[in-house]
Chains A and B, each alone.
Chain A
């Protein structure tokens, strides 16, 4: 067993020595050519040429109801229809991340457009048409479709991504005594992950063996969720997700398609392909719950924060304990002796809420980083300086040291690069024709975590290496960084290393989520590589430390031996496993960054355009500069969406998700995105993982929307506390002299 438990900070490694010179380099994607040439098969593109059937989901036509009966006779009578699957065991929605099983419908409709049946037919078109012929007879139940009127009724659950409550000292007392009190409430709407690739599955039975190709982020738990949903033992199920067109949290748990495809295939006696339509994806997978966040900050009159409270109310549906952890960064980001972070879940009868792109920071920092800005303005202190004044020297909640923290360096580097000193000092004071110009900034932080993960390295007699793990690449660059890590550790040119991912028959892995993938899966490759080197050393009769590896050769003293010679006709297979350990408890681990935005707000209409956006990040060792930077671009773009556009609208009368396609659910388009600037600072976090890296995927999302909102304030003097900042909210605050500057 080659295992590394992260109990101690890591010392110098072969990655630091950088002998092969590939780690950190912005090399092209391992699978890039396959993707751009259409040769990387996504889930739906399997079983080409086989006789398959096609599934189509029947959505429930109402928000909350008991189902009396489902009449499938008209659908079954349609030529080409093979089966209509119904029953209590049908999935309601996606499964909650890492849960043992998804929730089932059990004769009820829990949210509008919940799947109530699956039609399986000879063609997608027939299945789709027949789905309209399935008639659901139901008894409507009064539903709860909004949380605003039910504030205060939430429950504290223990099934969230963090503790519902985190407390230190006596916040209420400290706040009452504070010289300056800040108390504001912010609102963020519901969001959808809106990944490019819809949730799709292909399911095939061979006797009692089930193979599913599905678009999934965490195979280890996903295969269990499929097994439970279908009612078979997990050992009978193989799940493959070789390529994934984005997940953004919505594929952490299986989509309803995975179980439905398998049930349909069993009933039809044929493999079934099931692609959710864009509307289905919006209606039947998962969403991020809207939040109401109260932020209270007490401070001394010269601007030192003394106490900090962040209380969040957010919905979830019946039986779901997950909550949007908006307070996650408030636990430790700024100083203050007395602290209070709470989350309450208000039960609602709308599609279940789950992880979407940086759960917690993405919504929480929209609130807190606006609050910091408001406070800085109130004190008349530069927001940059205000953050410097309130930088804690250790984790203010747990009193443990930060494993590494370059927040202030990020802020300072950014201020210089962006030209922060030239910002309009008074809101509404800079105007270019019809446009009001403003600058804003915000901090970023994203909690870091390491997960258990395993990988195999296979060395074949020709001296080539293959990395094999049930890890996924959700478009982030995982194939590439695993190749780089193996190549650097083993001293091999990149083209000598292959990577196999996305198959539960491979060693089990952390999967991709919460920005932990690169460090967790990457560390398992590190561990496996160390074991390969150990074996090489043994064969050569030297100490592993004495070996230098480069270009497929082991160098020891004046000897230089090609790997093929060391292998001598053998194939070596070793599995390495990384496990989190004491360093996670002894240090507070997070990635940090800073965002700077320049916006132009149209003085006539309130349309906002982001003109410049800079993110400076520090996330430990950067494994591939290009893919890491791309991750940050993505975060910045989502941030533009959070600030200005994204809003999953639920009709409060009936629970309908109103804007359930990409024409009406707005995410940024090219014209919304200015030239993006990303700078990554040098950092090594030796507590975080053997790679000395931290999560980066979601760092850039955290806070960026607030930087934009702060810039809107600077441009207009209007402080909007309800996201997204759309023109209807800005209009009442815009100058009266329309046209004067035109």
Chain B
């Protein structure tokens, strides 16, 4: 761990001005600092900031403070009742101990689990732009099949963010200069492209203060995470779904995917293909065709393509079966 300066933000407005790297639960950042994958010169501890509230918004949604822990959020009665997909996604992530520390803001910004990113003697364009990508041609079982680039094939590992993407959550931030903005989760992340080291649209010193959920979605909520062991493993494929049926037809369908790409994946064409249709295996196959049209395996992760198809079909079958 490289020596760093430590300061504690006393209030929200000064946090950005302290011009350092924010640390919340530390469950991701500290691990990376120990390995010197991350080497911030200055850490700004934001854990004393008053960002732990979950409050109702005027339009019937919820505002989740950036420091609300994953455990608290998953257990919150309104989340469990009205945003089941989010509660389930949170509980599918990490372990009890980690969820007690992990925060909403930190979870959104957690970094990839690519092994080559973690091993500083290996090339990695995300860690050291221009050095190459160790995972291409290497061990890439957990890597992306959608939206990859020549430079990077990493996935975003969060479960929570997948549900947030489905819910069209909005990230509220405060910039170092004191201005604030709102960024829909759908515009928050970036594909690797030529610059895999840039993962979100946040600016230097921009603090996430809250994540806002629009009003609840009616319908069946599902979060299905497929992984190599029953718990405490990252998603190989995950599917978040909210489906509302009406008269035997799919009235509304939202789908978001984890484990497939550099960001939580959502494809409007997949959802459009389902709406107004009567559920059938042929229909679900068509949805999977659209989702996976551009999918590209890297060898070790080729199985994710059929796995994503099968999981999507099973989730849709399950979510529409009551109709």
Residues in A lying within 8 Å of B, measured CB to CB:
59, 61-62, 113, 125, 128-129, 132, 277, 279, 434, 604-607, 609, 644-645, 649, 651, 653-654, 656, 658-661, 663-664, 666, 668-672, 726-728, 731, 734, 737-740, 742
B1 within 8 A of A: yes
A441 to B196, CA, bound (A): 49
Q: Are A727 and B303 in contact (CB under 8 A)?
A: yes
Contact stretch, chosen from B18-26, B67-75, B181-189, B222-230:
B222-230
For B139, the chain A residues whose CB sits under 8 A away are 649, 651, 658-659
Nearest chain A CB to B151 CB, angstrom units: 18
Contact, CB under 8 Å: A62 / B229: no
Q: Contact at B281–A656, with CB atoms within 8 Å?
A: no
Please report the C-alpha to C-alpha distance between residue A663 and residue B27 in the assembled complex, in whole angstroms.
13
Contact A671 B230 (CB under 8 A): yes
Q: B318 to A605, Cβ gap below 8 A?
A: no
Are the C-beta atoms of A671 and B229 separated by less than 8 Å? yes
A739 touches B313 (CB 8 A): yes
Q: Which A residues lie within 8 Å of B227 (CB)?
A: 607
What residue in chain A is nearest B138 (Cβ atoms)? A651
Instruction: Tally B residues with Cβ within 8 Å of A.
Output: 43
Task: Give the CA-CA distance A726 to B249 in the complex, in Å.
Answer: 36
The complex places the Cα of A528 from the Cα of B137 at a distance, in Å, of 61
Say whether B313 contacts A666, CB under 8 Å.
no
Q: Tell me the chain B residues, 184-235 only, with Cβ under 8 Å from chain A.
A: 226-233
By Cβ-Cβ distance, the 7 closest A-B pairs, closest first, are A739-B317, A61-B121, A728-B303, A671-B230, A671-B231, A604-B314, A742-B318
CB-defined contacts of B1 to chain A, threshold 8 Å: 125, 128-129
A656-B119, A666-B233, A740-B281 are contacts. A726–B310 as well, Cβ < 8 Å?
no
Residues of B within 8 Å of A656, CB to CB, are 119, 121-122
B284 at the interface (CB under 8 A from A): yes
**A607 with B231: in contact, given A129-B3, A731-B306 (CB under 8 Å)?**
no
Q: Which residues of B contact A61 (CB under 8 A)?
A: 121
Our pick among B137, B302, B307 for the contact of A605 (Cβ within 8 Å) is B307
State whether the Cβ of B316 lies closer than 8 Å to any Cβ in chain A: yes
Q: Which residues in window 276-323 of B have CB below 8 A to A?
A: 281, 284, 302-303, 306-307, 310-311, 313-314, 316-318, 321
Interface membership of chain B positions 24-45, coded 1 if the CB is closer than 8 angstroms to chain A and 0 otherwise: 0000000000111000000000
B80 interface hit (Cβ, 8 Å): no
B81 at the interface (CB under 8 A from A): no
Can you list 27 A-B contacts with CB-CB less than 8 angstroms, sorted by A residue number?
A113-B121, A125-B1, A128-B34, A132-B120, A277-B34, A605-B226, A644-B229, A656-B122, A658-B119, A658-B139, A659-B115, A660-B115, A666-B228, A668-B229, A672-B230, A727-B303, A728-B302, A728-B307, A731-B303, A731-B306, A731-B307, A738-B310, A738-B313, A739-B313, A742-B314, A742-B318, A742-B321
Q: Which residue of A lies closest to B115 (CB)?
A: A658
In the assembled complex, how far is the CB of residue A638 from the closest CB belonging to chain B, in whole angstroms? Answer: 14
Tell me if B2 counts as interface (CB < 8 A to partner A).
Answer: yes
User: Closest residue of chain A to B230, judged by CB?
Assistant: A671
B318 near A739 (CB under 8 angstroms)? yes
- Residues in A with CB closer than 8 Å to B302 are 728
Do A129 and B2 touch across chains, with their CB atoms under 8 A apart? yes
B232 proximity list for chain A (CB < 8 A): 663, 669, 671
Q: Which residues of A contact B3 (CB under 8 A)?
A: 125, 129
Interface residues of B in 129-168 (CB under 8 A from A): 137-139, 141
B229 touching A672, Cβ below 8 Å: yes
Q: Is B175 in contact with chain A by the CB < 8 A criterion?
A: no
Report yes or no: B122 in contact with A605, Cβ–Cβ below 8 A: no
> A670 touching B231 by the CB < 8 A rule?
yes
Taking the closest CB of chain B, its distance from the CB of A77, in whole angstroms, is 14
- For window 229-246 of B, CB contacts with A under 8 Å fall at 229-233, 236-237
Q: When the two chains form their complex, are residues A726 and B314 in contact, meaning their CB atoms are under 8 A apart?
A: no
CB-CB < 8 A to B231: which residues of A? 669-672
